[in-house]
Chain A
Amino acid sequence: MHGESSEARTTILDEVAIVEIRGELDLAFTIKLKPELNAALRTPARAVIIDLEAVSLIDSSGIALLLNAFRRLDSDGRRLAIACPTGSQRRAFEVTALDRQLPMYATRQEALAAVSATRPPE
């Protein structure tokens, strides 16, 4: 399975956890990614960025994992931002119409800027 050559790495920057994924985010890699993502979610980070800039393919398992992260962070009052370039990498999100529901940004920079901006009053 192609997910065998995928990688993930988490760094913390100014209370923001950035999970960078490289390769194919398919079922095989989703299983390996769960512990990494869980660890990132358990940090005291006030926001999590999932960086998909180097992801070549994402399938429904990968999307389900992102939905799970979104829901868990949301219930904590914390923010998720997904960095995913427009074009072929966003296809899976466009077909599922999730690009309109999930907080998506074209680059890591934009995602960081979005979570760092002062929160508007509730």
Chain B
Amino acid sequence: MGSDEPDAVDLLGEALPHVVPERIVEVASEQAGCPVAAYVLDVEGLFALRLAGDGDRFPERFRAPVGVGPELIPEALPVLRRLVSDRVGPSTLWPLMVRDRIMGFLLARDPAARDLDALAMQAGLALELASGYTDVVHSVRRRKDMQPAAEIQQDLLPPRLAHVEDGDVAAGVLPGYDVGGDFFDYASNADGLWLVIADATGKGNSAAALSSLAIGALRAARRAGAGLQETARLTDEAIRGLETERYLTAVLASWDARRHRLRFINCGHPSPLIVRAGGHVEELDGERTYPLGIRFKERLFPTVSAELGPGDRLLLYSDGLTERQTSDGSRIGDDGLRGILAELGVVSAAMMVRGLQDAVLDASPEPLRDDATLLVLEPHD
């Protein structure tokens, strides 16, 4: 590091966590020789919100549907640049990166004396680290007050975008008006890429409590080395221990990247879809069992296999998507979903999630009645 290049440690330095955003903007403005502001995306990935910087010079917020949750979609950077210049005129933008994830951006409206790329990378890291210790970043991201159930949901979820061995994962939850207990999870392990999507009955705090327990049981099993069936069984047991009639529908899946093979257990959830290379949508409608948390005399967890390799896209979703009401009084439905996928065409995992989320939001002016969750896996060559 050059002597006048602050790194993440310098930016965190002696500054208290909650002033790190101001510190970043201070250093950036100094280096650029003009005012700079820092922006993050809201939790729905729809708006850019000013985290720090001169309020007279930089807008507090503007519409920027370029995120999957609060993470910026890399392919959407050109769109963001256009939206920014539409809003504030000629300007320069530098993404705040944490490895390959874009957490926000620095913005200058005047010509910058130097390129801030290196600083932006360090600033991204500093911000990510600081946000573990202070609420300031989280608060700015939340345009609306969040209920406890919504807060739990945000905390439970892993990063929205990930490059895993041999593929890209993109996932998101569009929360219902009264948050509904959906979640997703994934883990790149030695025995394969684990993928989970789940939907708890009910809404609000009780659904959040059930989801929290379920994701805990699931991760505990998986981290102890349990396979698909054992993980399903242990999660089922944990929920039954609550002695409630509430249950969790879920798809638990494991992808073998080398053999191009997906194995999964469907516990009462909408079937996974694979969009094949030519655009054909295949529904993986094999054997299924009933949801987790219920017990009848017989409890089996049948495993289904499917081929999944480069050129394909796997889509796991919750019924909040297909049940979403449309302006004409009906619902998106299975046909509607296939129509949206056909219109989106061949796009990255992140753009597919953003595109599907936009379609769900645009279907009706009414708020969502239920969480709509998506997870897309795009195998690489």
Contact = CB atoms under 8 A, between A and B. Distances in A.
Interface of A: 27, 59-61, 63-65, 67-68, 71, 95-98, 100-101
A22 B43 CA distance: 39
B201 interface: yes
Main secondary structure of the interface of A (DSSP, over half): helix
Contacts of B268: 95-98
A98 B290 contact: yes
A96 B245 contact: no
Interface of B: 199, 201-203, 245-247, 249, 268-270, 288-291, 294, 296, 319, 370
Could you say which of A60, A64, A95 has the most chain B C-beta atoms within 10 Å of its C-beta? A60
23 contacts: A60-B199, A60-B247, A61-B202, A64-B245, A65-B245, A67-B245, A67-B247, A67-B294, A68-B245, A95-B269, A95-B270, A95-B319, A96-B268, A96-B290, A96-B291, A97-B268, A97-B288, A97-B290, A98-B268, A98-B294, A100-B290, A101-B290, A101-B296
A104 to B, nearest CB: 13
Could you say which of B247, B289, B290 has the most chain A C-beta atoms within 10 Å of its C-beta? B290
A60 B201 contact: yes
B243 to A, nearest CB: 10
B201 A64 contact: yes
A63 B202 CA distance: 11
B240 to A, nearest CB: 12
A41 to B, nearest CB: 13
Given A27-B202, A95-B268, A95-B270, A64 B247 contact: yes
Contacts of A60: 199, 201-202, 247, 249
A95 B202 CA distance: 17
A96 B247 CA distance: 10
Nearest to B295: A71
B297 to A, nearest CB: 9
Ranked nearest first, the 3 interchain pairs of A and B with the lowest CB-CB distance are: A96-B268, A60-B201, A68-B245
Contacts of B202: 27, 60-61, 64
Given A61-B202, A100-B290, 10 more contacts: A27-B202, A60-B249, A63-B201, A64-B202, A67-B245, A71-B245, A95-B269, A95-B288, A96-B268, A97-B268
A15 B2 CA distance: 88
Nearest to B268: A96
Nearest to A98: B290
A90 to B, nearest CB: 14
A98 B370 CA distance: 21
Contacts of B290: 96-98, 100-101
A17 to B, nearest CB: 20
A60 B246 CA distance: 8
Contacts of A63: 201
